[in-house]
Amino acid sequence: MSNRYSGERAVVIGAGMGGLPAAQVLADYFREVVVLERDVLPADATPRPGVPQGKHPHGLLAGGLKALCDLFPDFSSTLVQAGANSLDSGLEVCHEYPGQEPLPVRSLGVATFTMTRPLLELAVRRRVRERANVVFRDECRVVAIGATPDGNAVASVAYKTATASSKYCPLTSSSTHPVAESLR
Ligand SMILES: Cc1cc2nc3c(=O)[nH]c(=O)nc-3n(C[C@H](O)[C@H](O)[C@H](O)COP(=O)(O)OP(=O)(O)OC[C@H]3O[C@@H](n4cnc5c(N)ncnc54)[C@H](O)[C@@H]3O)c2cc1C
């Protein structure tokens, strides 16, 4: 293993808005990053069962946009290419709160975007897929986490696919596959 990496393999459970940025960060430190997702990951911006709130209205606030731009350079362009609409919320959103006059309409100088939640996820997923050492395995439901014999670290992750009842993803080449804890 080259000194560039701190570990052989990292496993991310879930390709949602938590898992995708985690995979992006881990890809700098691990030779391989495996993202296990129970859903089929769609090629387009359609909702999926594992993120049921994806059908609800979502907004990406300026802080979230900045965090994504820090992780994915020029992420704003990725959003625009995916179909997101740019927005100056001070000018284009009417802010009204109970018991107060509506806030004055003025540019706050804070640009962000509106989009559906599946579109945001798709844009982030596309960027993570650009990483050569990140592997997506969809239709893989994690069912257990296996520990090292001393119980101090995770050695492997067990998952089920649509066709196989049980598979293991070891974190190192020397990992055995004891399953110490069940997720369900
Ligand atoms: C109604 C609603 C509206 C919201 N609106 C906003 C908003 O406007 N702006 C905002 O920033 N946030 C909003 N949120 C919050 C936001 O959706 C969550 O903070 C975010 O989804 C959390 O991301 P996550 O990746 O941790 O979890 P999730 O989005 O729940 O993703 C978890 C992923 O893990 C997968 N998974 C789960 N179990 C397993 C397993 N055993 N094996 C393999 N894969 C597995 C799931 O399929 C899924 O892909 C809203 C939430 C709700 C409920």
Q: What's the total number of domains in the chain? A: 1
Tell me the CA–centroid distance for residue 110 and ligand 1, in Å. 25
Q: Is residue 169 part of a domain?
A: no
Q: Is residue 92 part of a domain?
A: yes
Q: Is residue 170 part of a domain?
A: no
Q: Is residue 106 part of a domain?
A: yes
**What is the CATH classification number for the domain harbouring 44?**
3.50.50.60
For residue 166, the model assigns a pLDDT of 76
- Contact of 88 with 108, CB cutoff 8 Å: yes
112, 115, 116, 122 alpha-carbon torsion, rounded to 10°: -90
- Tell me which residues of the chain have a pLDDT lower than 70: 1-2, 173-184
Q: Is residue 31 part of a domain?
A: yes
Q: Is residue 149 part of a domain?
A: no
Q: Is residue 13 part of a domain?
A: yes
Tell me the CA–centroid distance for residue 16 and ligand 1, in Å. 6
Q: Is residue 127 part of a domain?
A: yes
Bridge pairing between strands 85-88 and 30-36: unpaired
For residue 174, the model assigns a pLDDT of 67
Domain of residue 100 covers 7-138
Task: Cite the DSSP H helix spans in the chain.
Answer: 19-26, 62-71, 75-82, 89-92, 117-129
Atom number of ligand 1 nearest to Cα 15: 49
pLDDT digit string, tens, across residues 153-174 = 888 999 999 887 778 887 876 6
Report how far residue 45's alpha carbon sits from residue 49's, in angstroms, rounded to the nearest whole number. 13
Tell me the CA–centroid distance for residue 125 and ligand 1, in Å. 14
